[in-house]
Copies of this chain bind each other. A is one copy, B any other.
Amino acid sequence: MEGIVVILHRPQDPRNIGAVVRAMLNTGFQRLRLVEPPPFDPDLIAAVAHRPDPVLTRLTIHSDLADATADIRYLVGTSDRPHLNLPWRNDVRQWAVELHRRATVAGPVALLFGPEDNGLSREELSRCHEIIGLPINPAYPTLNLAQAVLLILYELQQVTPPSPPPSPPAEPPADLADYDRLFTVLDELITATQFVKSGNGMALRRRLRAIINRAGLSQRDAAVLTALLRAAVRR
């Protein structure tokens, strides 16, 4: 993710900068640039994003957008709607695959996000090679700044998703002998309770076996159930 830079243009609320830092940490991005940010206390960032150092130690602040984008090879703007004669798309899932490849092959790309109130101006959007939106509810398309950053970075992260955390060791599954011991005790319980009034009870037995098979027991599950039913039969 080294080839992908996030640029916030004139963010207004320092808490949103903190929430963007957190979204970047959640999704594995570290390169953030701020253009004309408001004065902010790094402690406020840390209150929203715990352990923000991977992003904060590399953060740079710029006096204008040209300075923030000077080394960028491809600039992507963000806007919730198309604009006349500007290239807008919102197929973000497909876009993410293409941008990921571009960042790897052609050098640094940047994602540009505008101020909270009005977003990027037409002039700022005109600097961009392309503009993306998110395919969300057209009746309610306005995302909070940090939520827009999160969804776009999440889509980029999902191009090569991280491996899942290790699971705790599962109990070994029951084998058919374990199931058969359980079914035998279950039969004894049915007989002992005189639950079946007529017929041989085969339909009931089949239903109970199907329920237990669907549950997918571990050896220990089967042992516990068998012991419980055996205790019930004894009473």
- Contacting residue for A136 out of B140, B162, B167, CB 8 A: B162
For chain A, the count of residues having a C-beta within 8 Å of the partner chain is 46
A158 and B26 in contact, given A135-B164, A150-B150 (Cβ under 8 angstroms): no
Q: Which of A32-40, A69-77, A83-91, A107-115 contacts B (4 or more CB under 8 A)?
A: A83-91
Contact B136 A93 (CB under 8 A): no
Answer yes or no: A141 CB below 8 A from chain B CBs.
yes
Contact A168 B26 (CB under 8 A): no
Answer yes or no: A143 CB below 8 A from chain B CBs.
yes
Give the one of A158, A166, A171 with max B CB within 10 A: A158
* Apart from A22-B147, A85-B168, 15 more pairs, CB < 8 Å: A19-B144, A23-B147, A25-B140, A26-B142, A82-B168, A83-B168, A88-B167, A135-B158, A135-B162, A136-B162, A138-B163, A138-B165, A147-B150, A150-B150, A150-B151
